Amino acid sequence: MTLRRSSPARPLRLATLAAAAGLLFALQAVPQAASAQQRDPTRSIGETVASRPSPHYAFDRFEVRSADGQRTWRVHVAAPRGTAPEGGWPVFWMLDGNAALIEFDEALLAELAAQPVPHALVFVGYANDLRIDSEARTRDYTPVPGERPVRGGGTITGGGGADALLEVIERQIRPEVERRIETDPAQQTLWGHSLAGLFTLHALYTRTGAFATYAAGSPSLWWGDGALLGAPEQRFTDNNAGRRARVLIGLGEGERQVAHRDLEDPRVQVHLRRIAAAPADSAEKLAQRLSKVDGLQVAYREFPALTHGPMFRASLMWALHAITGIADHSDTPSRADGVDPHG
């Protein structure tokens, strides 16, 4: 197997990073244009392409609840208009579905629908109007418990619900999607960013046959003191036995740089302590190791200057480009910033 370093319109270069006192500090400041920080997680998603009729895709939605009735997921399903191909539509699944919906507009739907074999789209979100439900995603996207910072300083321990969500996807969400649209079980992609990228890799390790492609943007490999980099990875590499899958791993060059952070913020201080569990090159080294696993086709891409927040859109657009065949829009601004990426 070979490791492909994907090439965007502009040349790639590896981030130059230095380790100090267990933390990884940049030697140079991040360019101003790329220093956007995490967007306000409490903002509402507002109107999206799912809110109005589209000439290119037919949108539907449903909700599923956990067995204990305490958690509810809202799922949007978008099928290309027209007759499904023999064998069903290939499907592109997105975690953080509320936030992912914001990144789509009619122009993007038109481009997706114009492909020789368009993909159906599945947005797995939560039954609220939050762009990001931080508490819920921490619970659902992490394979082991861990700490996360809270406003005002300090941490709370939570998470460890990834296997439970995988069961919900397999036993409740996927059957309902298949009931509503014709899907091709052999052509399905799972994409996630940050903690959802961690979840995507956990799904690869534990449900290799569930998807054909696993796309992880800025995966939070530091979670649980780097737990996913230990025994789970080793078990997977020892036992995969040639089962085929495609893996995409993307990282922003500026994600490990701290010149753009407020180092007086207690939450930033906690976060920097946490991410010290995963060296700066963890994602790249992971891609290199996975590329040696028989059956895996692995691509790693580093995005010049981008920090963690902007990588949400960049990694999503790259994955859509790589999987569906549309143009690469990874260098266009996020619609969450109120900017028309096609303007």
The domain locations on the chain are 3-27+37-334
* Per-residue pLDDT, 196: 98
Tens digit of pLDDT at every position of the chain (343 positions): 334 444 443 333 333 223 333 333 332 233 333 333 345 657 788 899 999 999 999 999 999 999 888 899 999 999 999 999 999 999 999 999 999 999 999 999 999 999 999 999 999 999 999 998 988 999 999 999 987 766 666 666 789 999 999 999 999 999 999 999 999 999 999 999 999 999 999 999 999 899 999 999 999 999 998 999 999 999 999 988 789 999 999 999 988 666 556 666 666 666 666 667 788 899 999 999 999 999 999 999 999 989 999 999 999 999 999 999 999 999 999 877 655 555 4
Output DSSP code: residue 87: T
Residues with catalytic roles: 194, 255, 308
As a whole number of angstroms, the distance between CA 248 and CA 214 comes to 6
**Predicted local distance difference test score (pLDDT) of residue 263:** 64
Question: Could you give phi then psi for residue 20, rounded to 5 degrees?
Answer: -150, 125
CATH code, 3-27+37-334: 3.40.50.1820
Q: What is the pairing mode between strands 120-126 and 17-20?
A: unpaired
Question: Helices H, strands E: what count in the chain?
Answer: 11, 13
Tokens in use for 23? 């933390």
φ/ψ (deg, to 5) at 44: -85, 155
Q: How far is CA 206 from the centre of its chain?
A: 17
Neighbouring residues of 251: CB distance < 8 A, sequence distance ≥ 6 = 218, 283, 284, 300, 301, 302, 303, 311
| Residue found under tokens 């130059």 | 16
| Total-model pTM | 0.86
pLDDT value for 14: 32
Q: Which residues, in sequence order, are bridge partners of residue 130?
A: 44
Nearest alpha-carbon partner for 255 in 210, 343, 194, 319: 194
Rounded-to-integer distance, Cα 123 and Cα 63, Å: 12
Q: Which one-letter amino acid corresponds to residue 106?
A: E
Q: How far apart are CA 271 and CA 155, in angstroms?
A: 10
Report the distance separating Cα 169 and Cα 190, nearest Å.
11
Place of tokens 């910033």: 337
Q: Which helix (H) or strand (E) holds 158?
A: strand 155-159
- The answer to whether the CB of 8 falls within 8 A of the CB of 301 is yes
Say which residue the tokens 């700066």 belong to: 280
Chain centroid to Cα 239, Å, comes to 25
Tokens linked to 200:
């995507």
